[in-house]
Amino acid sequence: MDLVTAYTGQDVALVLIMLLMLALILGFIAGSSLILIWAERKVAARIQNRVGPMMTGPRKFAEFSMWTGGLLQTAADAIKLLVKELIIPSKTDAIPFIAAPVLIVTVCVTAYIVIPFGPAFSVSDLNIGVVHVVAISSLTVLSIVMAGWSSNSKYSLLGGLRSAAQMLSYEIPLIFALLGPILLAGGLSMQKMVLAQREYGCWFLLPSLLGFLIYYVASIAEVNRPPFDIPEAESELVAGYVSEYSGMMFAMFFLAEFANMFLVCSVAATVFLGGWLVPFMPVPDNPTPVYILLGILTFFLKTSFLVFIMMWIRWTFPRVRPDHLMNLGWKYLFPLSLLNLLICAGIAVLKDVYKLNGWGISLASLGALAMVMLLLQVVRIPRPDTFLEKA
Amino acid sequence: MTESVFFYLLSGLVLSSAWSVVRNENLFHAGLSLILCFVGVAGIYMNLDAPFLGAMQVLIYAGAIAVLLLFGFMLTHDLMKARHERNQHLAGILIPVLMALLLVGTILNAQWHASSGQPVNFGVASLARRYMQQDLVAFEMVALLLLASLMGAVVIARKEEGSRE
């Protein structure tokens, strides 16, 4: 009987809306990835003193042709990958081999649900927002392990193993870095995070500067980007877990990599940089259309800035060695993230007791940071090399 | 009633994947089915309006424990032969049947009180308050247990390193 009501009743509309929303997110991910891949290639080119892709795209105006020249390159690449044959090598474990790229994109789409693009502009403002993103993203590693194992190739297997170890270790500092802002906001919902920063009068970047840095480093490791791209180190593992993939299945891994990069940056922008809060502009209680538009623009500007820095880091630093990576994650980032939690708790208490405004909180957090620096001067932290010599 | 439809779909998923965990000849596929089973259970939690529990199920069971399991598989030599070495069909059937009897008996005999009051807004905040006030001792006990297991793991790992030298 329930099945019948489901087919005839109003709930069907709800399911349809949910499907429509998911399709919208998928479209957004595909579109933003096209732009991000183009941006990555152009940024890489500028850093290496090249011009990057130039052939596909409008080149009418000489001044702008540096940037518009390769604008359609990614679209051309996407069409090429779409029409390519899907090769499934005969010795692979076919079901996980095909399921892995599907899973990685699914996970990405699901995680995007809670991202607040603007005031009242998220698909669903779940009251567990931050935990939702972290929990769903933790399934990405599963997809990589599946791809690594089912490819039946030593390069893929090694890539999958390295990735599993890396992502499991960096998930911990990532979550602990987010705990500070969660404590300050007193809730897990993403919109509530933004509103709490409005209430505090300053971005959570200041009270948990340490947390922001830890989150940023850990998130670069989570999305397997250089300098933490050990799972897909092309000079030693061909391409790691994507070695055996071709055509659209490869493109899905590629798409998910860029979509994940945008995802972690948008979480960082929301949690630490005030999300859609426009700086130096009072927030109306009921957001006006102008404010909503400005808010969406601000959100994208903040996120793009973080994405740009990630690209900058990628083309500037050499790859980290696996043992250095583990040392950094467990011996530095994790204890520091606990320290960050402590500082955030202190500032939350200060705010409650002394009713501090934004300036007061900024001052208090700077003071806390200075104390941490002093502490680090007193307590000598050994460099990674000394750990290695002992082992 | 979308909820019931999703409940039956998810239950079907959980049961079939659980069956696959037990019966699949390929150990890696069994591991993947286990993850599917965990995710299905998380879906049931979410369907019951317990999103925090569902997210934790995904984060801890599917995202961490099961992936560690697969990690172990990848390091195991001759993985596919491992399944045929032991024959424990009798125990394998007996224990689940006894478990099922116990559970069904408990559920049938339980007194189900229909709630008459207002629905409680049982969010993360109230859960946290409970952990930090009423159930603090239990919370600390769990923390101590985890610490002990962590130390145990370190001790075991250290011993192997020492014996190699």
A252-263 per-position pLDDT tens digit = 888 888 899 999
Residue A42 domain boundaries: 1-83
Boundary (domain end) residue, out of A41, A67, A83: A83
Q: Are residues A155 and A211 in the same domain?
A: yes
Percentage, residues of chain B above pLDDT 90: 21
CA torsion through residues A75, A79, A82, A87, sign: negative
pLDDT reported for residue A382: 63
Percentage, residues of chain A above pLDDT 90: 7
| Token pair recorded at residue B160 | 């192997």
- Cis peptide upstream of residue A322 (ω within 30 degrees of 0): no
Q: Are residues A334 and A236 in the same domain?
A: yes
Confidence of residue A309 (pLDDT cuts 50, 70, 90): very high
Q: Report how far residue A265's alpha carbon sits from residue A169's, in angstroms, rounded to the nearest whole number.
A: 19
Q: Are residues A94 and A73 in the same domain?
A: no
Contact A11 B68 (CB under 8 A): no
Confidence of residue A307 (pLDDT cuts 50, 70, 90): very high
Closest residue on chain A to B158 (Cα): A391
The whole-number average pLDDT for the span A48-61 is: 77
Contact B67 A164 (CB under 8 A): yes
**Chain-wide mean pLDDT for chain B?**
82
Residue A368 has pLDDT above 60, yes or no: yes
pLDDT reported for residue A9: 54
Q: Is A161 on the interface with B (CB under 8 A)?
A: yes
pLDDT reported for residue A61: 67
Q: Are residues A77 and A100 in the same domain?
A: no
pLDDT reported for residue B165: 43
Task: Report how far Cα B160 is from the mean position of its chain's Cα atoms.
Answer: 30
- For residue B123, which residues of chain A lie inside 8 Å, CB to CB? 127
Q: Are residues A14 and A124 in the same domain?
A: no
Boundary (domain end) residue, out of A28, A60, A83: A83
CA torsion through residues A296, A299, A302, A307, sign: negative
The whole-number average pLDDT for the span A320-348 is: 84
Residue A386 has pLDDT above 90, yes or no: no
Instruction: Report whether A353 contacts A264 (CB < 8 A).
Output: no
| Token pair recorded at residue A297 | 């623009």
Boundary (domain end) residue, out of A53, A83, A113: A83
Q: Are residues A296 and A376 in the same domain?
A: yes
Q: Report how far residue B74's alpha carbon sits from residue A161's, in angstroms, rounded to the nearest whole number.
A: 7
Of A95, A138, A164, the CB nearest to B71: A164
Closest residue on chain A to B165 (Cα): A391
Backbone phi, then psi, for A358, in 5-degree steps?
A: -55, -45
Min Cα–Cα distance to chain A from B99, Å: 30
The whole-number average pLDDT for the span A221-238 is: 76
Confidence of residue B92 (pLDDT cuts 50, 70, 90): confident
| Token pair recorded at residue A203 | 């971005």
Instruction: Report whether A325 contacts A221 (CB < 8 A).
Output: yes
Q: Report how far residue A165's alpha carbon sits from residue B58's, in angstroms, rounded to the nearest whole number.
A: 18
What would the DSSP string read from start to end of B41-69? HHHHHHHTT-HHHHHHIIIIIIIIIHHHH
Interface-testing mutation among B58, B121, B127, with chain A (most A C-beta atoms within 10 A) = B58
Amino acid at site B138 = A
Terminal Cα-to-Cα distance of chain B (whole angstroms): 65
CA neighbor of A272 nearest in space, from A363, A365, A182, A366 = A182
Pick from A44-58, A67-81, A234-248, B91-105 the range whose average pLDDT is largest.
Answer: B91-105
Confidence of residue A215 (pLDDT cuts 50, 70, 90): very high
Q: How do residues A98-144 score in pLDDT, each as one tens digit?
A: 888 898 988 888 888 888 888 877 777 777 888 888 888 888 888 88
Confidence of residue A166 (pLDDT cuts 50, 70, 90): confident
Q: Is A138 on the interface with B (CB under 8 A)?
A: yes
Residue B59 has pLDDT above 80, yes or no: yes
Of A15, A138, A165, the CB nearest to B63: A138
Q: Are residues A78 and A94 in the same domain?
A: no
Confidence of residue A2 (pLDDT cuts 50, 70, 90): very low
- How high is the ipTM of this complex? 0.76
**Chain-wide mean pLDDT for chain A?**
82
Number of domains in chain A: 2
Q: Are residues A138 and A64 in the same domain?
A: no
* Burial status of residue A284 (CB atoms within 10 A of its CB: 0-12, 13-18, 19 or more): exposed
Q: Are residues A131 and A234 in the same domain?
A: yes
Q: Are residues A184 and A72 in the same domain?
A: no
Closest residue on chain A to B57 (Cα): A135
Residue pairs spanning A and B at CB distance below 8 A:
95
Q: Are residues A248 and A353 in the same domain?
A: yes
Min Cα–Cα distance to chain A from B74, Å: 7
Q: Are residues A141 and A166 in the same domain?
A: yes
Min Cα–Cα distance to chain A from B95, Å: 30
| A residues 300-359 lying closer than 8 A (beta carbon) to B | none
Output the CA–CA distances (angstroms, integers) from residue A52 to A26, A66, A75, A312, in the order listed: 28, 9, 15, 15
CA neighbor of A84 nearest in space, from A245, A252, A247 = A247
The whole-number average pLDDT for the span A36-57 is: 84
Of B1, B39, B52, the CB nearest to A2: B1
Nearby residues of B107 by Cβ (< 8 Å), 6 or more positions away:
none
Question: Which residue is listed with tokens 């590629």?
Answer: A254
- For residue A150, which residues of chain B lie inside 8 Å, CB to CB? 28
Q: Report how far residue B58's alpha carbon sits from residue B56's, in angstroms, rounded to the nearest whole number.
A: 5
The whole-number average pLDDT for the span B17-43 is: 86
pLDDT reported for residue A5: 45
Confidence of residue B37 (pLDDT cuts 50, 70, 90): very high
- For residue B5, which residues of chain A lie inside 8 Å, CB to CB? 2-3, 6
pLDDT reported for residue B163: 53
